[in-house]
Amino acid sequence: MTEKKVSFADLQALRKQLNEYAYQYYVLDQPSISDSQYDQLYRQLELIEMEHPEWISPDSPTQRVGDQMLTGFQKVRHAQPLYSLGNAFNEQDMADFVNRILNQVQGPVSFICECKIDGLSVALTYEEGQFVRGATRGNGQEGEDVTSNLRTIKALPLRLRRPVSVEVRGECYMPKSSFLALNEQREADGLPVLANPRNAAAGGLRQLDPKASAQRNLNLFLYGAVVSESFHPHSQEELFRELEAVGLRTNPLRRECHNLAEIMAYIEEINEKRHDLPYEIDGVVVKVNDFALQEQLGFTVKAPRWAIAYKFLAQVEETQVLDVEWTVGRTGVVTPTAVMQPVQLAGTVVKRASLHNVDYVKSLDLRIGDWVTIHKAGDIIPEVTSVLTERRAEETKTLAIPQHCPECQAPLVQEEGQVAIRCENPLCPAQQLAQISHFASRAAMNIVGLGPQIIKGLLEQDLIHNVADLYDLTSQDLMKVDKIKEKSAQKLIQAIEASKKNPLDYLLFGLGIRHVGAKAARLLAQRFGSMEALAQASLDEMASVEGIGLTISQSLRMFFDRADSQELLQRLAQQGLTMTSESMGEKIESKDNQWYGKTVVLTGTMEHYTRSQAKQILENLGANVTGSVSAKTDVLIAGSEAGSKLSKAQALGIQIMDEAQFLSSLSDKTVDDEKESERSDE
């Protein structure tokens, strides 16, 4: 039987299917297929385009990240100016704005209030539905052409759902979680940390290598457009509906208000929620809803008269530094942390704040006893921002920078061009503790019950020195550690043994190789199929994997070329750990379970699994896990602190399960197998 010849029509249908799945996932947050199913279809498209390169077009999902380095950024003239906004800082400012509007127009006026995303303004041009150009705001009249980098944003459709020609405006931003992960990686690599998500997003859009831009994991919300013949809404609210209808992502946290009281109520509500949002905002934008009224009100030289930005006050507090602690991470980087008088900041009590690195400490001229200002970078990480030198006591002395590792006393090294100081002793107990703790963590090998305190005890008893030593432990060894009794020791041995069955990418991530996160480990395992093949791969072969690049490849090559790494991998293989990817993504094929074919939504915080783990378990049982509740939802599984999804499910009469009921619905075998084979990438 011959294989069916693929036609251009088949290619177009496959592209359309993949674009629809991407729209459901990135724009609607309602995925209808699993990641593995999407990856299989994507691979089919890649193979077809390899066979028929003449069929490749700019709107293909495979063309998001270009292979060509940029040499610079061309200037782009905007179809209409991108104006800045006037600011309001209190209720009186907002009252003045509303009254000014009411005094200039006849009849009632409604306003659209929306979150002011703290990112980078962009203009996207579509011609007959196809994305052709993207530019930064620049000076408002012209910006820089960053089309190649914007194409890497998966929420940005390369082709709209209707063939409209329009220039749309929005805000490109970096999610808080991505910003946190980026700075953690930069600190580990001895690079300067970025000040906030906005700077990180701006830097991401101005990368000359689109692959580097893609690694910033940027996203965007659209909120404006230049009206055209094929795209002509009559109000701000209608504009949002039209943007959504053609497949563009908008922020759902918006509200139509009719007076000052309603506007201020919305502002207060958003201000309370801002620290819980997955992105950073710095205020609320208020616009006259009706476009005819907007045109009537017009513009000043700098800003529209029909819109204003209400700016939230910066979350900054003052406190006193009591001490500076120097801690050693798993890559040997020594990081300073300020220990302070407790202070309330952005909803939490803060006692410690990041000082990032030696150069940052020196630039502050920080001393013990100094009064400082602190804030939360990206509403996440407490950090010291300035020293109040006018409050400094005369007897304070310049802070001593350590010359030796605070744990093992080995000399510290600061590599040329880097800001980090690093301990290069591979036997440093702090590095061993951090490395083994990472290996055993839930996101890596998920050795349940093996936490940092137990690992520290094993190191102090000289029972382990690296991760391979874990697999030689006995119950008697574990019982030498304080507070571990026979039953606990047996459970730990079982957990260590069970971890041998974890897929290759879990092991690769758990090894703690610099720059190799969970996603990179998964891509590498899928591409090379075994630890041996990856270890023998060339730099070019590694770097050719989409999403990997030269930096990760160089780090991998250095790891595999070291004699101690080769010895470690040989021991792990002899101890029976999974060194090939055959077991990756193993599915439960049986349809004989209550979840098969059901549409399920997860909400709230779960204790036994992360939501990512629970999602994968359900998908392996044949369920369709979506991101929002609708009349098509069969079951809502609600963890603690469930919010609006729970309320909506109750209103629709949908079956609701708590976590205990969900766990009891799974067989013991399913729970045991899936808990060991699925993990979160967070």
- Compute the CA torsion angle 502, 448, 348, 216 (nearest 10 deg): -10
Cα 327 to Cα 29: distance, rounded to the nearest angstrom: 39
Distances (CA, A) of 365 to 215, 291, 388: 34, 53, 11
Q: Facing residues of 382 across strands?
A: 376
From the candidates 5, 75, 116, 154, which is the catalytic residue?
Answer: 116
DSSP 316-367: EEEEEEEEEEEEE-TTSEEEEEEEEEEEEETTEEEEEEE--SHHHHHHHT--
Query: Six-digit token pair at 582?
Result: 């055959």
Q: Facing residues of 637 across strands?
A: 602, 657
Q: Is 648 a catalytic residue?
A: no
Cα 613 to Cα 600: distance, rounded to the nearest angstrom: 14
Tokens 């060894």 appear where?
477
Cα 620 to Cα 596: distance, rounded to the nearest angstrom: 9
3-class secondary-structure state, position 87: strand
DSSP state of 410: P
3-class secondary-structure state, position 158: coil
Beta 421-423 vs 333-345: how paired, if at all? antiparallel
Cα 545 to Cα 508: distance, rounded to the nearest angstrom: 16
CB-based burial, 506-542: b 16+ in 10 Å, e otherwise = bbbbbbbbbbbbbebbbbbbbbbeebebbbebeeeeb
DSSP 11-64: HHHHHHHHHHHHIIIIISS---S-HHHHHHHHHHHHHHHHH-GGG--TTSGGGS
Q: Taking Cα atoms as reference points, which of 60, 76, 225 lies closest to residue 130?
A: 60
DSSP state of 401: P
Distances (CA, A) of 418 to 10, 190, 421: 51, 5, 8
CB 233 within 8 A of CB 170: no
CB 220 within 8 A of CB 135: no
Q: Supply angle C-alpha 202, 206, 210, rounded to 5.
A: 120
Cα 233 to Cα 243: distance, rounded to the nearest angstrom: 10
Residue type, 643: G
Cα 373 to Cα 593: distance, rounded to the nearest angstrom: 57
Active site residues: 116
